[in-house]
Chains A and B, each alone.
Chain A
Amino acid sequence: MNKQSRYYEKITHIIFTIICFAWVYPFLWMVFTSFKTEEEMFAGGLRLLPSHFNFGNFIRAWEQANFSIYFWNTVIVTVVGVLITIFLTSTSGYTLGRYNFPGKKFFIGTVMVMMFMPKGYTIIPTFELIRQLGLLDSLAGVILAQVGGVNTMGVLLFMGAFSQIPKELEEVAKLDGASYPRIFWQIMLPMVKPIIATVSIFQFMSSWNDFFTPLVFTLGKPNLRTLGVGMYSFIGEHSTDWVGMAAAASISLIPIIIVYMCLQRYFIEGIAGAVKG
């Protein structure tokens, strides 16, 4: 019996190892191809590893193909997007989770209705709105289009977390003369750190990986492209430079893969928590 179950365990490990190798193979292929020369890539057949590591493709992608610009654009869009989202969702989640006031139910109701309403093609009016605000030729426009709609799930997560904190805490603080924003900033916000992490990770992923919004907003504006859009236009403009393409893809994906590997527990717990709640 015991011997048999150990045997099954071994088989499970073998199967999962094969599957996982196939699963991450595209990323291995991408990274190793980035170090190959053009000739090696064409002659190499199925060989995964490069004969030696050369960084020429990275330099070409970074400097000539403007991936330095795309990279920093993506960093700005992502960091500012996460900060704005945390600010909006935590402040609104705080008032909605802890206080009753006229209009609260109406607001929550509206948010719910908007969540389930068929959206149509909202990028068109959003584009018009950004144009009228005069932000069309700036990263600010891209950021607003991405996060301006407010991450509703984030609001709900903060609302739930803040409503769990016992009332006594802020009553004591109030007696000590702490003001409303100070109670929020110094007492309440530090108590919901896990939610801050979850919402940040979600927003980080969606901002870093967004393709549609920056695609629409940077049509004809190469200087505002983010990595995904830059990659897409790269294959249009340099369709023969395969190794350069692989290097560009590595520049786009390696940062998020590193962040994920370091914080993988939070990623997975955050995703799991979202469907449970």
Chain B
Amino acid sequence: MTYLFQIFNGIGIGMLYFLLAVGLSVIFGLLQFVNFAHGAFYLLGAYFTYDLVERGYSFWVAMPLAAIMVMALAALTEIVLLRRIYKLPHTFHILVTVGLALIIQEMTIIVWGPLGGNVPPPEGLNGVIIVGDFIYPEYRLFVIAFTAVLAVGLWWVLEGTRIGAIVRAGSESSENTALLGYNTLRINSAVFGLGAGLAGLAGALAAPIRGVEPFMGLEALGIAFVVVVIGGMGSYTGALLAGILVGVTQSVMASLWPEGARLMIYLGMALVIVAMPRGLLGRA
């Protein structure tokens, strides 16, 4: 029974990893841009939620508002700063986005202090569900259900709508997309904002589970890269599968051998890189 509990936890966390990774993956697909500031947007999503809840707003207002604020901030950053460096080599992407991540992290410490804090589970979901001798927090179940609906919705947008087709077309060739009359600069900003907004949403949803602290962004960045590498760059279902795999591994290991949880994940990534360099479901 303890394992069932851990597996459920792992799925919930894994779905948050999926939200993180899918944004990173879509941004890389469209812009060929490695965004090391992705974890910082997750950090901001969590802290915005924390701040709004502290100010007395309901979590149900704070969570979507935090995600939208992160989206707007990220789109602005793209317009002012990042679009100027796409054409430079990847080393410059790393330099600029790591710098951006550090600035955001230090700003967080300046504004909210180095200690972090807790976000209580939202009203209506602060109890537990009991089935037989299985006890599970309601909020974690909500996270699983909510992110599952979101995953399906996102998949539909990307694969089933005209807007999704335009984004996929842009990932293949922005020049050819422009020849059809699309302003690719605007599409880039929107997609960057959306990807970062998903990271912000993951942060907002994670806040009641794991609290907020200034270094959660760094940790999330590492996890997001692991998930993208295992799942395959640019693969939507790969990000979903790998997110859940990583979440469950981490969660189960936490009860078996806590010190080895991180080791297992990075070892798993190393194995995937050696055996399947494109990731589990990466495109040829």
Q: Does chain A bind chain B?
A: no
Residues of A that sit less than 8 Å from B by CB: none
